[in-house]
Amino acid sequence: MKNHRHYLSASLLAGFVFITVSNSALAESEIYATQSGHFSDFGDMMQILLPAGALTGSLVIGDNEGAWQLSKGMLTTGVVTHGLKFGFARLRPDGSSYNSFPSGHTSSAFSGAAYIQHRYGNAWGIPAYGLASLVGASRVWANKHYLDDVMAGASIAVMSSLYWTDPYNLSDLLVTPTLGSDSVGLMVNYIPGRGKKTSNLTSNTYDDWGHNQQDAYRHSYELFIGGASTQHNRVQDGNNTMFDLKSFGREDEPNTYAGARLKWGMDKGQYLSINLTPFESRSTSTLAQDINFGGKHYQAGKEVISAYRLWGVNTDYMFELLPNSDWKLDVGAGISVKQLSIRLDNIKGSNLSEQAQWLFAPSVMTEVGYQFTHKLSANIGLHATASSKISSQELWMSLDYQLSQRWATSLIAGRFNQEIEADRLVNHLSMDYAGFTVRYSF
């Protein structure tokens, strides 16, 4: 018995030493660090509570049809989300697994929120969207997802809900909970004829977003999903030697590349185009030469990790010059806002550097296209910016197919070039991209 005790003590001590050594050996850069806390726990919890609460609420009020619509929306969202996770196999920001794109937490939360808004209107939907947005923010904060992971997850869920969900027909009898400072109760309203109307979401005049349905489908939201192949991504800090992040590693090439476009109809023949492209990449390399960046020195032969982030928002006011023709010619101008951040660190940490810049520049945009049939069209577009610190040019081609009045899809390929020379930071980026879009008009 005594020998067994000595053997157990020795095993525990050896295990403790092994764990200690292993943890020390696995020490990593802050770039890989995962944050945990109440905000992260909130996201873990709310991704379940939102769809579960929506389903429970529908069943409680006897809206079995709505519960079925929610189930179909969630199933569609889950299949698309996890299919893309498997297809893209994108490494998470913390390096923990290859299933970052898109965010499952966010798509789950937005499945519940979108259903609530589409089924029951803004009074319930807007708070639900607020909670779902916090779930997405918690995933970025925890370093579990990139911004485009979250954007794509939310968009997939909302579009799935739009496809499956119909507005709820109200009944003459309306029961709502009330909460006072020292009481809880129910308020009952009876409005004869109310059941013959639909929720405000399908009002004959205006929906909850202020859209006049008599001017049908002047607005649209479009999600782009694809990949980008970097041609070069050169970086220079001050007078130090320029280096190319492309040479750091090709394990993540082509990079996941996603974006979103909101087209908001204004006066006749005019619209506002808002494009969001949150591009990010991370790679590691054993340096072939010394690098100086952000006041830090990185020695040749050492393994270094880079984190590159370029978030961009382009807002352009567009004019349709050929509104009644098979040909399309849209021109406009606006402003481009970019946030650039570049971080380097030794793979084991302790040598983190960062350079970041906010950049603003005027922009111009044009799209030329031709409508072959009532469903098939092709477009060529150009977007350019220029200022003392940044210049960029993006050229793309698309083949568009109209699936129905509301839904359309496109195949897109393009090239993006950008040169930034701001204060001490220089960045020359060139990449080709390709992918598909799904567009919903409203």
Asked if residue 194 belongs to a domain, the reply is no
Q: Within this chain, do residues 229 and 160 fall inside the same structural domain, yes or no?
A: no
Burial of 203 (0-12, 13-18, 19+ CB in 10 A): middle
Secondary structure (3-state) at 63: coil
Secondary structure (3-state) at 13: helix
Asked if residue 181 belongs to a domain, the reply is no
pTM attached to this predicted model:
0.84
For the residues of 324-388, what is the DSSP string, one character each?
A: TSSEEEEEEEEEEEEEEEEEEEETTSS--EEEEEEEEEEEEEEEEEEESSSSEEEEEEEEEEE-S
Q: Under a CB-based contact definition with an 8 Å cutoff, are residues 156 and 287 in contact? A: no
Of 139, 164, 189, the domain-final residue: 164
Asked if residue 25 belongs to a domain, the reply is no
Asked if residue 18 belongs to a domain, the reply is no
- Quote the domain boundaries for residue 224: 220-441
Q: Within this chain, do residues 390 and 277 fall inside the same structural domain, yes or no?
A: yes
- Residue type at position 46: M
What does the pLDDT profile of the chain (442 residues) look like in tens digits? 444 444 334 443 334 333 333 333 345 899 999 999 999 999 999 999 999 999 999 999 999 999 999 999 999 999 999 999 999 999 999 999 999 999 999 999 999 999 999 999 999 999 999 999 999 999 999 999 999 999 999 999 999 999 999 999 754 445 555 556 566 565 655 455 544 444 443 333 334 443 334 347 899 999 999 999 999 999 999 999 999 998 886 666 678 999 999 999 998 899 999 999 999 998 888 999 999 999 999 999 999 999 999 999 999 999 999 999 999 999 999 999 999 999 999 999 999 999 999 999 999 999 999 999 999 999 999 999 999 999 999 999 999 999 999 999 999 999 999 999 988 899 999 999 999 999 999 9
Q: How many domains does the chain have?
A: 2
